[in-house]
Amino acid sequence: MAQDALAGLVGKIIDQPAERIVVGNGASELIKIVSGHISGKLIVPVPSFNEYTDAAPSDQVVEFPLEFPSFQLDVEKFTAEAFRIKADVAVVVTPNNPTSMLIPKPDLIRLAKRLEKHDCMLIIDESFLDFAENPDQISLEQDIEKYPNMAIFKSMSKAYGICGLRIGYMLTANSKFADAVRNGVHIWNINGFAEEFLRLLPDYKQEFIESCKQVRTDRDSLYKKLCGIGGMTVFKPDANFIFCRLPDYAQSASEITKKLFIEHNMYIKNCVGKTQPDSDRYLRIASRTEAENCKLVTALSEVMDLKT
């Protein structure tokens, strides 16, 4: 079957048996199946990737506000709320989007163990984890068999830059949950170009590792430059983008992003669409090359009427 062959290809990349893997036309296909059809009551910390809540019926999803203004996940409070609403699926994104912050691995393990007692599946979205320091050590992929109520989602588009190919996967040792998601996937859901990419990918593992290392270097340099803008609150990033709160004297995030695009042909994301306090004061800035990042910081300072 097509899904068996695709799962086998992904399995070779992540060193996992095919029966634990479901391959999607992007992670969004798998999110739609879980949020829209499998979960009875789903809980998601916010702000986060909107698709998890958008794909679920409004009466079947609960948004759990992250601690403000640190945007850290309080595992104990999150667990208690999951129990209170009788959630059967909990989702966490690490590093989170848009905050770019990791949830510590011990916290995730503690969360999984506590949720298991209440028959609640824990979805851990590791789509941006390759950009964090020591990703192999902080990923839970190689520990998956220890936690029967855990599933890991991964959008390969993020790290590999293959948005148009549309590849994502779910990894879980819970065969019942894997079958439920697999049954929701259309036959031949991945195109031939994407399949060929999966076949070629193992040959370029070292190049990929070096590429992620360079991304981290450039991101850390951008972080320091953004910290140099007076009044800007810059959150230390773990992904390939940086979460910032604009200075109080600056215009709104919507106006800043608009001016930056019109005057400098640069596009960054405002967080207006995210569920969080003062969302129109926040930006999510993706890191690119060192030269591009320098130009961005200069342009951003200019549109905020600052001198670099």
pLDDT band with cut points at 50, 70 and 90 for residue 308: very low
Q: What gap in Å lies between CA 25 and CA 8, rounded to an integer?
A: 16
Per residue in 39-56, pLDDT (tens digit) is 999 999 999 999 999 999
Cβ–Cβ under 8 Å, residues 241 and 98: yes
CB 192 within 8 A of CB 200: no
* SS3 assignment, position 2: helix
pLDDT confidence bin for 286, thresholds 50/70/90 = very high
213 closest CA partner among 133, 107, 159:
133
pLDDT for the residue 307: 46
What would the 3-class secondary structure string for 77-145 be? Answer: HHHHHHHHCCCCEEEEECCCCCCCCCCCHHHHHHHHHHHHCCCCEEEEECCCHHHCCCHHHHCCHHHHH
Q: What is the pLDDT of residues 186-208, one digit of tens each?
A: 888 999 999 999 999 999 999 99
Q: Is the pLDDT of residue 215 over 90?
A: yes
pTM above 0.85, yes or no: yes
- SS3 of residue 259 by DSSP: helix
Dihedral in degrees, nearest 10, Cα atoms 144, 145, 147, 153: 30
pLDDT of 228 > 90? The answer is yes
Give the integer Cα–Cα distance in Å for 111 and 90: 10
Of 67, 62, 110, nearest in space to 88 by CA: 62
In degrees and rounded to multiples of 5, residue 109 shows phi and psi of: -65, -45
Mapping DSSP to helix (H, G, I), strand (E, B) and coil, where does residue 171 land?
strand
High-pLDDT (> 90) share of the chain, %: 95
Amino acid at 130: D
Domains of the chain: 2-203 (3.40.640.10), 206-303 (3.90.1150.10)
Q: Is residue 306 over pLDDT 80? A: no
